[in-house]
Amino acid sequence: MSATARVPALMYHRVGDAHNDWEARYAISPENFAAHMQALARKGHRAIGIDALVDWLEGGPPLPEGAILVTFDDGFRGVRDHALPVMEKLQWPFTVFLVSDLIGQEDIWTRAANPAGVTYPLLDAEEIRDMQRRGVSFHSHTRSHASLPTLDAEQLAEQLAGSRQALSALLGHGVPYIAYPFGHLDDRVEAATRAAGYRAAFSTQSGFNRRDVNRFRIRRIDVYGTDTPAKLLRKVRLGCNDGSLGHAARYYLDRLKSRLLGASR
Ligand SMILES: [Zn+2]
């Protein structure tokens, strides 16, 4: 099986300093983010555009060896300040999923979860348009970062189609992709996402994306701010959120066992 038969998609959130353990999971320091991308590049990885991934899932052209997708949920300003320069230097495309009602505001949905009760700035319209001119692609993360399975049919359609409309007006083109807030989804949410006219949707379920993945449940590896570059590389190699050495050892042992069993048959 060639490396391009399975594509890892990485999920980051805020790029900037973390001030407590809760934030350390969702925020990566600018230095560590740069180290992550450099480690991937040294291992022969390269980021591909979101359209290339979805085209490939639909039977389109093959992807380069070592292809990965880099995504950022929520649209924090720190992505522009700290991630954009790193990605421009590598000439790597990336995708940001925006909360359409909160453009130019802050991540108010985290206030209850973050023990510090603080919020951080999100990109404003001008910054988004500037990044778009520089090759960044923007897609939907709903209108208000709602937990979609909790909504009734009308509210669900509002979040899905409403954000698509608002972002299309801002960006001047269609918005074919969405990332489910909190990764919350069920069959009803998936059906509503299809009905709202999206082409594909991104979950937070870990794993590789093979061509047979459900395009409305594309998998992503959750990258934590505390992940060292070595741990990130293990996550990418194993396609999971647990990049611990113990997990890596079990993975290779299982593979070895199944190979030995296969050979003895
Ligand atoms: Zn989010």
Radius of gyration of the chain (CA): 18
Ligand 1 centroid to Cα of residue 143, in Å, is 11
Q: Three-class SS of residue 180?
A: coil
What per-residue confidence (pLDDT) applies to 42? 98
What per-residue confidence (pLDDT) applies to 253? 79
Ligand 1 centroid to Cα of residue 107, in Å, is 9
- Show the DSSP H helices in the chain as ranges: 21-26, 30-42, 50-57, 77-78, 84-90, 125-133, 153-171, 187-195, 229-238, 245-264
- SS3 of 82-104: the string is HHHHHHHHHCCCCEEEECHHHCC
Residues 6+ apart with CB under 8 A from 239: 6, 8, 206, 207, 208, 219, 221
**pLDDT values of the chain reduced to their tens digit, one per residue, 265 residues:** 444 689 999 999 999 999 999 999 999 999 999 999 999 999 999 999 999 999 999 999 999 999 999 999 999 999 999 999 999 999 999 999 999 999 999 999 998 889 888 999 999 999 999 999 999 999 999 999 999 999 999 999 999 999 999 999 999 999 999 999 999 999 999 999 999 999 999 999 999 999 999 999 999 999 999 999 999 999 999 888 877 777 777 777 788 777 777 655 4
Ligand 1 centroid to Cα of residue 145, in Å, is 6
Contact between 7 and 67 (Cβ < 8 Å): yes
* Phi and psi, residue 109, nearest 5°: -70, -15
What per-residue confidence (pLDDT) applies to 97? 98
Ligand 1 centroid to Cα of residue 181, in Å, is 5
The CA distance from 233 to 96, in Å, is 22
Closest CA to 36 of 93, 86, 85, 78: 86
Task: Kindly state the tokens that stand for 81.
Answer: 């300040």
Positive/negative CA dihedral, 186, 75, 200, 88:
negative
Ligand 1 centroid to Cα of residue 31, in Å, is 22
Ligand 1 centroid to Cα of residue 8, in Å, is 19
The CA distance from 231 to 81, in Å, is 24
Ligand 1 centroid to Cα of residue 15, in Å, is 13
Ligand 1 centroid to Cα of residue 182, in Å, is 6
Residues 6+ apart with CB under 8 A from 212: none
Domain boundaries defined on the chain: 3-240
Ligand 1 centroid to Cα of residue 146, in Å, is 9
Query: What's the CATH code, domain 3-240?
Result: 3.20.20.370
Task: Kindly state the tokens that stand for 250.
Answer: 């079990």
Ligand 1 centroid to Cα of residue 75, in Å, is 9
Closest CA to 216 of 242, 197, 235: 197
What per-residue confidence (pLDDT) applies to 1? 43
Ligand 1 centroid to Cα of residue 13, in Å, is 7
Buried/exposed 222-243: b ≥16 CB within 10 Å, e otherwise:
bbbbebebebbbbbbebbbbeb
What per-residue confidence (pLDDT) applies to 3? 45
* Amino acid identity, position 228: T
DSSP at 152: -
Ligand 1 centroid to Cα of residue 33, in Å, is 18
Ligand 1 centroid to Cα of residue 136, in Å, is 18
Ligand 1 centroid to Cα of residue 9, in Å, is 15
